[in-house]
Amino acid sequence: MKVFWDLVRGDISAEKVVPPTGLTAFLTAASAAAMAFLAIFVLALAVTAARQAAGWEDALADTATVRISASVETMEAQADTVEEILAQTPGVGATRRLSAEEQVEILAPWFGPDLPLESLRLPVLIEVNIDGNGPDAVGLGLRFAAEAPGAVYDDHGRWREPMVRAAQSLRRLALTSLLLIAGVTAVTTALAASASLAANGQVIDVLRLVGAEDAYITRAFVRRFTLRALIGGAVGTFLGLVAVALVPNVSTSSVGADIGFDGFEWLWPFLVPIAAGSLAFTATRLAAARRLKAVS
């Protein structure tokens, strides 16, 4: 805790004794800004995809669909039979037959809103609300095969599972990307700090001759690079949020989502500058300690 307090308070005498770090400090701020910008995009994509997948999974978890494909002569009779069977089946709640207009609305994101209904023979779709653990899908399928052979019960499992796997894969990819970004930031800061310490080698030798401790010398470099990384991270975070806000909205009522943060997700961007400063603090201290030990 004392180390972080010293960092915030600073040491005016050390700041005056150690020469400005020049281009290396600027590069530290620029790299931190670039890495923060990329981190914001990675976070935005990850939380948006996870939010969308969770929404789809919740929407499909308590519903099922019965699709009836039959000849024109038997379509209506089979639909009535299916509704009677569903009304008698434990685990099935309310049912509702979708109109042709609703089916067109569902297909619109893929085929456009102007589907030629007169030339298409759409199946009958019945939306089923699940009660409890749902019906016995195997038994229901056998009864459909006997009494309404054109009916197929779909519990949406084949839709939910790929979305869950995709969300998990995207989260792993986002975590890997963030770790790579953090690694690049730490390495860049450490190299810049080492270059600055090497460039000021004569100053460090003189400070040691007059009795300055390594902690006194390190403090000035650490504070300088940490603050620049913190400022660069804040600038990159702001620019990243602006860029995310400018991404066009491609969502519709059924697919897609606005890329960005929602609710408590807004806490993540504020952690990015703090992470950049913490990485710079640690990397600079390690680089300074290694450099000073090498020349001692």
Question: How far, in Å, CA of 26 to CA of 31, rounded?
Answer: 9
Question: How far, in Å, CA of 65 to CA of 156, rounded?
Answer: 8
**What pLDDT sits at residue 14?**
55
> HSE-up of 85 (CA within 13 Å, CB side)?
25
Question: How far, in Å, CA of 228 to CA of 223, rounded?
Answer: 8
Burial class (CB in 10 A: 0-12, 13-18, 19+), 16: exposed
**Parallel, antiparallel, or unpaired: how do β-strands 63-68 and 151-154 relate?**
antiparallel
Q: Is the pTM of this model over 0.95?
A: no
Q: Which residues sit opposite 128 in a β-bridge?
A: 64, 95
**What pLDDT sits at residue 295?**
62
**Parallel, antiparallel, or unpaired: how do β-strands 124-130 and 63-68 relate?**
antiparallel
Burial class (CB in 10 A: 0-12, 13-18, 19+), 126: buried
Place of tokens 């209904």: 117
DSSP state of 248: P
CA angle 216, 31, 224 (to 5 degrees): 20
Cβ contacts of residue 256 below 8 Å, gap of 6+? 52, 109, 250
**What pLDDT sits at residue 36?**
93
Please state, in angstroms and as integers, the Cα–Cα distance from residue 162 to each residue in 108, 137, 174, 177, 261, following that order.
22, 20, 18, 22, 23
Residue 222 carries which side chain, given as an amino acid letter?
V
DSSP state of 211: T
**What pLDDT sits at residue 232?**
92
Map residue 109 onto helix, strand or coil: helix
**Parallel, antiparallel, or unpaired: how do β-strands 92-97 and 124-130 relate?**
antiparallel
pLDDT along the chain (296 residues), means of 10: 51 56 75 92 84 71 82 85 88 84 73 65 84 81 87 78 77 87 87 78 74 75 84 93 80 55 86 90 83 70
Place of tokens 């893929």: 110
Q: Which of 81, 68, 172 is nearest to 124 (CA)?
A: 68
**What pLDDT sits at residue 21?**
57
